[in-house]
């Protein structure tokens, strides 16, 4: 009887672990979907408008390339150095340049 109780306890522990693993797997899948991130540069254009800085000025006075501006317009990836340079030029925090959204 004691042997049956121990094997039942072992079975319960193993079965509980399997359930926990299945639950963890489900949670990981849901978190993975929430981690799909989209970076949007819409705040940049609003900040530039408020500060009175044009794209032409970024190109001519601050040496931001037209390719970089094109990437920003299309919400493509740019380097963190570029974002840092824009923060310095516009004298603003990163939130005034980049918006991060999570898609499900």
- The number of angstroms, rounded, from the C-alpha of 38 to the middle of its chain's C-alpha atoms is 6
The kind and range of the H/E element at 92 are: none
Residues 89 and 42 in one domain: yes
Range of the domain at 87: 37-103
Q: What CATH number is given to the structural domain containing 64?
A: 1.10.260.40
The two tokens of residue 65 are 């390339």
Q: Is the pLDDT of residue 9 over 80?
A: no
| Confidence class for position 24, pLDDT limits 50, 70, 90 | low
The two tokens of residue 79 are 């380097």
What contacts 78, CB < 8 A, 6 or more positions away?
A: 68, 71, 72
Residues 54 and 97 in one domain: yes
- The number of angstroms, rounded, from the C-alpha of 68 to the middle of its chain's C-alpha atoms is 20
Of 15-29, 62-76, 80-94, the poorest mean pLDDT is in 15-29
Residues 51 and 83 in one domain: yes
Residues 51 and 86 in one domain: yes
pLDDT digit string, tens, across residues 27-72 = 666 665 656 678 899 999 999 999 999 999 999 999 999 999 999 9
The count of domains in the chain is 2
The two tokens of residue 101 are 């959204």
């Amino acid at each position: 009887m004691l042997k049956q109780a121990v094997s039942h306890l072992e079975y319960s522990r193993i079965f509980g672990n399997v359930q926990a693993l299945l639950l963890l797997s489900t949670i990981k899948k849901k978190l993975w979907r929430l981690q799909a991130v989209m970076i949007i540069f819409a705040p940049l254009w609003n900040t530039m408008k408020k500060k009175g800085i044009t794209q032409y000025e970024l190109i001519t006075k601050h040496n931001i390339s037209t390719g970089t501006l094109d990437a920003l317009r299309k919400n493509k990836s740019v380097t963190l150095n570029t974002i840092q340079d824009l923060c310095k030029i516009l004298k603003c925090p990163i939130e005034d340049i980049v918006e991060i959204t999570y898609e499900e």
